[in-house]
Amino acid sequence: MTEADTRHENAAHKTVTVTVDEEPVSGVSQHTTPNAILSLAGIDQATHYLVRINGRHRESFKDEGDKDITVHEREKFVSVFTGPTPTS
């Protein structure tokens, strides 16, 4: 294995800490899926989807929970509930 191969392999296994709903979530693989992030955050992926926050820009992963994404250290996300809304 060359030195370049080793660097690439190490980058593929790098983990970062992101925030979901203003709570830190550590141990997130840099190459992951929105559903994996929700799971690490302890959020039910069957009733939530993830939105990436970058300044004023929002990137929704609604119906794309298994999409491969790259995340970076201290990146911010919010979860959005998709289940039924109770009425009074």
pLDDT tens digits for range 4-50: 544 555 555 799 999 999 999 999 999 999 999 999 999 999 999 99
Is 38 in contact with 50 (CB distance < 8 Å)?
yes
**Domain assignment of residue 76, yes or no:** yes
- Please give the average per-residue pLDDT across 57-72, as a whole number: 98
Check whether 71 has a pLDDT greater than 80: yes
Residue 8 maps to a domain: yes
Residue 86 lies in a domain: no
- The reply to whether 87 falls in a domain is no
Angle (CA) 73-75-27 rounded to 5° is 50
The pLDDT assigned to 86 comes to: 79
| pLDDT score for 41 | 98
More confident residue, 44 or 84: 44
CATH code for the domain in which residue 54 is found: 3.10.20.30
Q: Give the total number of structural domains in the chain.
A: 1
The pLDDT of residue 5 is 47
**Torsion angle in degrees (nearest 10) through CA of 23, 73, 8, 42:** 10
